[in-house]
Amino acid sequence: MTPLRSELRDFNTMRMQAKCRSVIPVFSEQDVFDVLVQELHPLKIIGGGSNILITKDQDAYILKNEIKGIEIIDEDGDNALVKVGAGENWHLLVLWTISHGLGGIENLALIPGCVGAAPMQNIGAYGVEQESVFHSLQAIDLVEGTTKTFYKEDCKFGYRESIFKNEVKGKYIITHVNYLFSKHPKLNTSYGAINQKLQEKQVDNPTIEDVAHAVIEIRQSKLPDPKIIPNTGSFFKNPVVGIDVLESIKVRFPSVVSYPVDEKMVKIPAAWLIQHAGYKGMRHGDAATHENHALVLVNHGNATGNEMLSFAEIIQNGVEDKFGIRLVPEVNIW
């Protein structure tokens, strides 16, 4: 068996230092099948490494998805069905759709990572989730070596959730994702920050390009760039709680922010809870919450995965003590 000799620090945006048996790039489905016949176990998959926290050496062979290609495979007057290699960069796909006049993911501009990871947690931002344009995906079963197509109803998409994060976690490598983009896009500028940015820029009749640029500007002004301060974006999910829970928090904290999910449930921004529990900008060794964004845990240099995790636990306990809500990590803990 190969010793633990490959370093993972350059393969994750939190810049966690850890070893694995080897990192094996795969450029095609055939490359995946070639790896499977070698019976290397266990296998793990990595894309851009922007949604994982590595806490220990990985006793595994890691497939780095490099499967490329963006191709219109079907179209009519209204829509285009586009097949995308799972190793394509997500933001480059967004730019590609805009240059082809195809709408649907302009609000998801500048999200780091690869297309193959987008269905994993059903990436979302500014009121849009990838499931709204998702058609199907192809995956290879890492044990059986068979290919399988998952349609939307198979994926059990939810709020930053899917079947791939739950029931079939680690079972498949996603090789291609098919998206149905619109030739007559309906813009979604309902999130306040987008409208505000468009007004600032005096854009009266926005295009998909205007929306993407507004999103890019907002994100660049708020979020730490992982190349400068290592991070994995939002560390925790925004909790969705019953209205009764919100009402009981409101008694003590009338300024609590919330957004309706349905008649019975509301979403409370985790950033608000962390900030009001006193953790915004707090540093714990080299692990910290970002000074401008309490939900983003950052590595100021040499934090280890376990240090990040114990800092995350301090935040979870503090928020739970104050508000009675246990935050759940959004990142995948390795």
- For ligand FAD, what does the binding mask look like between residues 242 and 281, x meaning CB under 6 A? ----------------------------------------
- Residue spans of alpha helices (H) in the chain: 29-37, 90-99, 152-155, 192-200, 208-222, 243-252, 270-276, 305-323
Question: In sequence order, what are the beta bridge partners of 136?
Answer: 151, 178
Give the count of residues interacting with ligand NAP (CB under 6 A). 16
Segment interacting with ligand FAD (CB under 6 A) among 91-99, 111-119, 247-255, 316-324: 111-119
- Residue spans of alpha helices (H) in 66-191: 90-99, 152-155
* Catalytic (active site) residue 66: no
Q: To the nearest whole angstrom, how small is the minimum distance from the Cβ of residue 305 to ligand FAD?
A: 14
Give the count of residues interacting with ligand FAD (CB under 6 A). 33
Q: According to CB under 6 A, which one of 232, 258, 289, 304 is a site residue for ligand FAD?
A: 232
How do beta strands 287-289 and 296-299 pair?
antiparallel
Distance CA 61, CA 321 (A): 40
Laid out side by side, the sheet with 19-26 consists of: 6-7, 19-26, 58-65, 43-46
123 touches ligand FAD (CB under 6 A): yes
* Catalytic (active site) residue 161: no
* Catalytic (active site) residue 330: yes
Site for ligand FAD in 22-51 (CB under 6 A): 44-51
Whether the Cβ atoms of residue 14 and residue 23 lie closer than 8 Å to each other: no
Q: To the nearest whole angstrom, how small is the minimum distance from the Cβ of residue 54 to ligand NAP?
A: 17
CA nearest to 135, candidates 101, 194, 181? 181
Binding site for ligand FAD (CB under 6 A): 13, 44-52, 65, 86, 111-114, 116-118, 120-121, 123-125, 172-174, 223, 226, 231-233, 332
By annotation, the residues acting in catalysis are 160, 234, 330
